[in-house]
């Protein structure tokens, strides 16, 4: 079991020995200039060498929302889809914000290429035996739903509206009893340790809403630093699984990383696996918690 700081014990390869549900969580592939083939190939190797109930890709498949980037991303996504059911949501780099700047224009065009090449639904639900995954689109471009007064946030910051959060709660509540319930959002819901930045506009409001939901894990990306955090609020608790990027844009010169989520009927464990130059291996960041009955 991990200690309170999230460090694994010696020779710990997996978090729970009797896991009944296993999810592979990757993020931020960034097809385009920052793309790193070795990281993606190593992630595909992890996916192909074990059993997974589902694979989660939490956004930023492209770098500039260009057609050729989405075509390259689709080829990668199809390899993951051939291994296990795959849940995807768009990231801010997948949003062609210039089609609807600052609330003007046709917002339907912002995600047109993502829908054409990656997934027609930007807020999908994936129900599988023992696990329900719900996606929300936090990538609003420069629309008011994610705008703040700080120009550095424009095109970068994400947002979740009250209507989106209510819809996610409804879909999660509809999951069969005993399911592992997973919410997938691109923008980090906990503050970055190195960046010191929240991914979402009005993060405290969002955290309160998430903690009140029947959700076990919230999968995110965006901040390019792996984190596994137990979030506890007055309304409840959940584990935030923030995956690092598979591109060259790791924050603080950290190695690339992906996350492994495992759940038995009584335990939930999440661990970041880091790239050692040749493969992804279990790293020091992770935790185990008891699952709520």
Global pTM reads: 0.92
What does the DSSP 8-state code read for residue 292? Answer: P
Q: How far is CA 90 from CA 27, 62, 229, 242, 276, in A?
A: 10, 9, 23, 15, 28
Q: Which of 272, 189, 274, 258 has its CA nearest to residue 223?
A: 189
Average pLDDT of every residue of the chain: 92
Which residue stretches of the chain are H helix? Answer: 37-48, 67-81, 112-117, 162-173, 203-211
Distance from C-alpha of 190 to C-alpha of 38, rounded to nearest angstrom = 28
Q: Which of 124, 93, 60, 84 has its CA nearest to residue 260?
A: 84
Tell me the mean pLDDT in the region 124-138: 98
Please give the backbone phi and psi of residue 155, each rounded to the nearest 5 degrees, phi first.
75, -10
Do the domain assignments include residue 12? no
Do the domain assignments include residue 4? no
Do the domain assignments include residue 1? no
The reported pLDDT for the residue numbered 15 is: 41
Other CB atoms closer than 10 Å to residue 169's CB: what's the count?
Answer: 18
Tell me the mean pLDDT in the region 182-207: 97
Do the domain assignments include residue 172? yes
> What interhelical angle do 203-211 and 162-173 show, nearest 10?
20
* Minimum mean pLDDT range among 12-26, 113-127, 166-180: 12-26
Which runs of E-coded beta strand occur in 129-216? 131-135, 180-184
* 3 pLDDT above the threshold of 70: no
Q: Does residue 19 come out as left (phi exceeding 0), alpha (psi in the -120 to 50 range) or beta?
A: beta
Q: How far is CA 170 from CA 84, 111, 173, 190, 248, in A?
A: 26, 24, 5, 23, 37
Distance from C-alpha of 127 to C-alpha of 139, rounded to nearest angstrom = 23
Listed in sequence order, the residues at least 6 apart from 22 whose beta carbon sits closer than 8 Å to its beta carbon are 50, 51, 52, 53, 260, 261, 262
Tell me the mean pLDDT in the region 95-116: 92
Tell me the mean pLDDT in the region 153-157: 89
Tell me the mean pLDDT in the region 11-36: 78
* 176 pLDDT above the threshold of 90: yes
Q: Which two tokens stand for residue 58?
A: 């939490």
Range of the domain at 61: 21-285
Question: Are the C-beta atoms of 207 and 187 separated by less than 8 Å?
Answer: no
What CATH number does residue 52 fall under? 3.60.21.10
| 180-184 β-sheet, strand order | 125-128, 131-135, 180-184, 217-220, 236-242, 227-233
Do the domain assignments include residue 293? no
The reported pLDDT for the residue numbered 153 is: 83
> What interhelical angle do 37-48 and 67-81 show, nearest 10?
20
Q: How far is CA 289 from CA 86, 214, 217, in A?
A: 25, 16, 11
* 11 pLDDT above the threshold of 60: no
> What's the domain count of the chain?
1
Tell me the mean pLDDT in the region 170-192: 98
Listed in sequence order, the residues at least 6 apart from 174 whose beta carbon sits closer than 8 Å to its beta carbon are 132
């Amino acid at each position: 079991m991990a200690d309170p700081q999230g460090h694994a014990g010696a020779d710990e390869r997996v978090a729970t020995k009797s896991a009944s549900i296993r999810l592979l969580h990757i993020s931020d592939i960034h097809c385009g200039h920052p793309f790193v083939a070795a990281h993606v190939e190593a992630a595909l190797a992890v996916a192909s060498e074990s059993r997974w109930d589902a694979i989660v890709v939490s956004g930023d498949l492209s770098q500039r929302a260009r057609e050729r980037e989405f075509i390259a991303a689709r080829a990668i996504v199809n390899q993951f889809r051939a291994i296990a059911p795959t849940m995807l949501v768009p990231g801010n780099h997948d949003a062609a914000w210039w089609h609807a700047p600052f609330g003007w224009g046709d917002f339907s065009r912002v995600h047109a290429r993502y829908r054409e090449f990656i997934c027609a639904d930007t807020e999908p639900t994936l129900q599988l035996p023992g696990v329900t995954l719900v996606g929300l689109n936090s990538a609003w471009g420069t629309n008011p739903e994610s705008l703040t007064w700080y120009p550095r946030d424009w095109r970068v910051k994400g947002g979740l509206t009250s209507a989106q959060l209510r819809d996610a709660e409804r879909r999660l509540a509809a999951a069969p009893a005993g399911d592992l319930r997973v919410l997938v959002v691109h923008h980090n819901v906990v503050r970055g340790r190195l960046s010191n930045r929240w991914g979402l506009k009005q993060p405290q409001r969002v955290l309160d809403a998430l903690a009140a939901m029947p959700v076990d894990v919230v999968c995110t990306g965006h901040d390019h630093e792996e984190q596994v955090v137990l979030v506890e609020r007055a309304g409840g608790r959940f584990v935030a699984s923030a995956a690092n990027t598979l591109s060259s844009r790791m924050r603080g010169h950290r190695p690339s990383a992906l996350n492994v989520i495992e759940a038995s009927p009584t335990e939930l464990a999440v661990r970041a696996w880091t790239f050692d130059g040749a493969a992804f291996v279990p790293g020091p960041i992770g935790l185990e918690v008891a699952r709520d009955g």
